Chain A
Amino acid sequence: MAEDKEERTEKTESAQAPAESQADAARSSEAAADKDASGARPLVVSPPPHLKAPDTTSKIMLTVVAALAPIMVYDIYLFKGAAISTFFWSIFGALLAEAGIQRLRRQRITLYDGSALLTGILFAMVLPPKVPFWLSFIGGFVAIALGKQIYGGLGHNIFNPALVGRVFVLISWAKHLTSDWYEKVSVDTISGATPLFVAKQLYQGTISADLTKFYSTALFRNPYGSMGEVSALLIILGLVILLAFRIIDWRTPAAYIGSVFVLTWWAGRDAIFYTLSGGVLFGAVFMATDYVTSPITKKGKVIFGLGCGFLTFLMRLYASTPEAVAYAILFMNALTPLIDTYTRPRVFGAVKNA
């Protein structure tokens, strides 16, 4: 018995020897954390999960920039220097505001996360191509300063920063954003500031027009709107990119676009025209889907989209503002916390209320 024990102990010991020294090395280098003489590293102890998905905040932001890139490129191709200037000053203003305010607040400067860059691009996209450089700069700055940083920074803002910038410049310098800078509509005998204005006149009965003539311009080369609306087709391409990379949920754009279409059709108007004009597509794909300012629950996203669609429809028909989409989204942004509270999913195992 004793012999067996010795033999067995020997065997176990020699089997232990090679790896035991490794385990020992790991332990001793863990004890002397800064020393790495044996070449073995100390063991990291942290709570689970010990695997992480490869997604990061920066990657997400940059993917959205990539979805906007085709539109940006087309803008620069069409509007050349004016587009470059507007993009540049808007992005510069946004980055400056972010870095500057974070510095003032003594926080880590987080330009690397790409969110200010994205806001800069989005803000430029809701401007017409030809605006004074100072307007895009101030707008980009205000979008970040008043639309985001003042609430505490990334993740804390209530309103879509690019739209806050848009409304700010609209109120302050409306002249620069409307008639002077847009190409005027002149098709056949129609004249007016924008196709939407033409449509309003049409449905008021003051003129007659064929709105279907605007379809192709809306899809391919729309000179009447902001830089983001230059081609509905490229917006749809952006939507496909965002869905393919699982950046956005299909529910918000579907609910928004769908409700505008259905409501307009029900009201007896040209639904395709209304859906393709005035930034509905751009707003539904790139603005209403902003993570921070829209609901986090699936049901909430649908309600948000429907609300935006309904408000857009209402304002288009009855209000005199050219900014239905922007105001609709901002209004729904304000309702988002409420929507989130009331659309929390039913917890697994929770009894349904009788």
Chain B
Amino acid sequence: MQRTFAGGVHPPEFKELAHDKPITRVEYPSRVVLPLAQHAGAPAKPLVQAKDRVRRGQRIGEAAGFVSAHIHSPVTGTVIAVKPHRTAVGARALSIIIDVEGLDDEERLETPENPTPEDIRRIVQEAGIVGLGGAAFPTHVKLSPPEENPIDTVILNGCECEPYLTLDHRLMVERPARIIEGLLLLKEAVGAKRAFVGIEDNKPDAIAAMRAHASAADSIEVVALPTKYPQGSEKHLIKAILGREVPSGGLPFHVGVLVQNVQTALAVARAVREGMPLIERVVTVSGQAAVSPGNFEVPIGMLGSDLVAQAGGFTNDVAKVIFGGPMTGFAVGDLAVPITKGTSGIVALPASMVDPFPEEDICIRCGRCVDVCPARLTPNELGTYGRLGMTEKALGIGLFDCIECGSCAYICPAHRNLIQYIRLAKARAREMK
């Protein structure tokens, strides 16, 4: 019996562009821009101002409340300004702009030899760690579920179901021991009895590498899952591996599970063992319009334009640049926006793959969207209700159960802008409350 979920689509994977490119550390740029809101929850408050000197690893942004995260400087240098700066989503967000001197003068967190679960949670919070799979949810919050919802299983998400992205793949091939170490720390932090690592079967070398380091003695099982988008969606990962369904409107802890991305586990290991706050991450630069796709370890706050330049740039026929993956990522109009904790990749598509003015046809009720929706909704109806402003009706058929994976819009032969209409309905619904 194959472990999978109902629905889903099979977009072209395009992994071959970058999946065998080892991770390269970039040369640090001359300037980094750190938005104070690069995580789910309340934006951090700045602790520095213009002309302040900062050290690599220093906390420069303070978490505002529990569901928030600290921001640390990845460089030693001088703060140029704390002012709004354009971000990948198009808005301007308050950011700390730092002129880079070097990496030498470092600050680390204090780490005990044998950390208790309490220590692990505390260090994860101090390190400003957030989910590195893209949602950027503060990890320490996930590690502190309500008392009545204990965690019995930890699942590491190594699926990387988005086309083009290969960063998690490379991390699993190159640093499996560290990832497993992080997994063990996470397991201890929540008191879970067992753990799984879910990896799509298009990454056999990653599966092998992780299996070699996962020992049955630690109750860790590496599970190969059929490649299907969006297997990496946390709720569907839980469904495929454990058969449990997170209740509508609920979170994984409601079924006793903690899910973390493999890179997040790595960050946890670095924080607890080396005292490294979250100041770097690996991103993929790929796409048919990328001159030489690859996987890069970059400082948080590096501008996309600086990374792209070091990565070889784009071809002349580049028509769309996406921060993230092609199914859910943001198309940017300006590359000079910062790579944040939630940026997984930069994908460049050539003109031949981009239709600047796509025409939308009428819904012919073909039913493909209903067949592929992993949330088992009726996207055709949601799209129509969204477009016509019938928000109540949309709420009545599960509007907020939509995970905006894009499967419906991908498969629709009429090219309806379903995700756009659903987002419109959600925005209106939030205003109504």
Contacts and interface: CB of A to CB of B under 8 A. Distances in A.
Given A16-B306, A49-B406, A51-B163, A56 B413 contact: yes
A37 interface: no
A49 B245 contact: no
Contacts of B397: 344
Given A154-B362, A296-B378, A45 B332 contact: yes
A213 interface: no
B423 interface: yes
Contacts, number: 209
B286 to A, nearest CB: 13
Given A60-B366, A113-B361, A50 B313 contact: no
Interface string A1-43: 1001100110111011111101100110010000000011101
A4 B163 CA distance: 40
A351 B11 CA distance: 31
Interface in A146-162: 153-156
A187 B277 CA distance: 91
A41 to B, nearest CB: 6
A129 B384 CA distance: 42
A172 interface: no
B309 A348 contact: no
B257 interface: no
B376 A346 contact: yes
Nearest to A59: B413
Contacts of A12: 27-30, 306
B364 to A, nearest CB: 5
B318 A43 contact: yes
A349 B235 contact: yes
A27 B27 contact: no
B332 A43 contact: yes
Interface residues of B, number: 84
A18 B305 CA distance: 11
B356 A44 contact: yes
Contacts of A346: 376
Contact of B377 (A8, A56, A113, A347): A347
B419 to A, nearest CB: 6
A80 B28 CA distance: 78
A115 to B, nearest CB: 8
B329 to A, nearest CB: 6
Given A297-B370, A349-B246, A50 B309 contact: no
B262 to A, nearest CB: 23
B318 A11 contact: no
B364 A292 contact: yes
Interface stretch (B17-25, B42-50, B333-341): B333-341
Contacts of A296: 365, 367, 370, 378, 380
A291 B413 contact: no
A305 to B, nearest CB: 14
Contacts of B420: 47
A57 interface: yes
Contacts of A16: 305-306, 309-310
B102 interface: yes
Given A49-B419, A345-B376, A19 B414 contact: no
B354 interface: yes
Contacts of A45: 90, 320, 331-333
Best-surrounded residue of A44, A46, A48, A56 (most CB of chain B within 10 A): A48
A101 to B, nearest CB: 15
Contacts of A345: 370, 376-378
B308 interface: yes
Interface in B225-275: 235, 239, 245-250
Taking each of A8, A27, A49, A51, which has the highest tally of chain B beta carbons within 10 Å of its own beta carbon?
A49
Contacts of A104: none
A26 B375 contact: no
B107 interface: no
A155 B384 CA distance: 12
A57 B414 contact: yes
Contacts of B27: 8, 11-12, 15
A350 interface: yes
3 nearest A-B pairs in the assembled complex, by CB-CB distance: A19-B313, A49-B406, A19-B309
Interface of A: 1, 4-5, 8-9, 11-13, 15-20, 22-23, 26-27, 30, 39-41, 43-53, 55-57, 59-60, 113, 115, 153-156, 249, 291-292, 296-298, 344-351
6 contacts: A23-B305, A30-B334, A51-B163, A347-B375, A347-B401, A349-B375
